Amino acid sequence: MVLLWGRLIMKIPLDYICVRTGSLCNRCQSIVDSGQVEPFEVDVMKVLLDIEESQVKELKDSVYHKAYKIDDRLLVLVVSSGPRMTQQLWIKVAKILQERLNIKVRIIEKTPNVKDSAIRLLFPAKILGVNTVWLPDGSVQYIVKLPKNERRYLPASPLDLEEALSKIHSTQVKIKVED
C-alpha cells in the first residue's frame, strides 16, 4: 500500500505522479528502460488508478505486479488482491480495462503454482491437470492437460495462453488438448 495525500492507493512499481501525468521521472524511466516495466504497462497502471479513484475503491489495498501483452489480442494482469477485493470486483475491473484499452483482459492472482495460474487463466475451461517434465538439460517444462470438449471455452488460442503462462512463470508451459 502507498499513502498519497492521506489516502491509500493501489501499489504499483512506478511513482503515482509519473503514471498520472505520463511524464516519467529519472527513476521511473530507468525502470521502463531496463525492461522491468514495459511502456504499455504505464497506460494499464493509469487506467487502474482511474478505476480505483472513480469506480472500484477496493483496489486501494491491491498490488499490481506485472502485465503481459500477448500478440495485441490478450492482456494478462498479475495482481495480489487486497482484503476487500472480490472475484466479482476483479471481473468488473477486467471489463472496464477491456473497454478502455480495447484488448481482451484476464486478471489472475500472483502465485508460484503453475496449476493455479492455469486454472485462473483458462477459466471457464476446466483442466485435467498439470504434468511436470524434467528435461535432460535440468530445466522444467509444464504440460497443462485439457479435455477436447473444453477447448471451445478457452479465452484465447492455446498458443497465446501457452505464451502467457510461460511468461508469467519464466519457464516453458505447453497446453495439450486430450483426444
Return phi, psi of residue 131, to 5°. -100, 145
Measured between alpha carbons, how far is 75 from 44 in angstroms, rounded to an integer? 10
Q: Is 29 helix (H, G, I), strand (E, B) or coil?
A: helix
pTM of the model: 0.85
Per-residue pLDDT of 21-36, as tens digits, reads 989 999 999 999 999 9
- Confidence band for 2, pLDDT divided at 50, 70 and 90: very low
Residue 35 gets the label, from left (phi > 0), alpha (psi -120 to 50) or beta, of left
**In this predicted model, what pLDDT tens digit does every residue of 125-175 receive, in sequence order?**
999 999 999 999 988 999 999 999 999 999 888 999 999 999 999 999 999
C-alpha span between 88 and 49 (Å, rounded): 18
Is the distance from CB of 106 to CB of 121 less than 8 angstroms?
yes
Contacting residues for 157 by C-beta, under 8 A, at least 6 apart: none
Q: How would residue 56 be classed by pLDDT, with cut points 50, 70 and 90?
A: confident
Query: Per DSSP, what are the bridge partners of residue 109?
Result: 79
**Domains of the chain listed by start with CATH number:** 2-109 (no CATH), 114-178 (3.30.300.20)
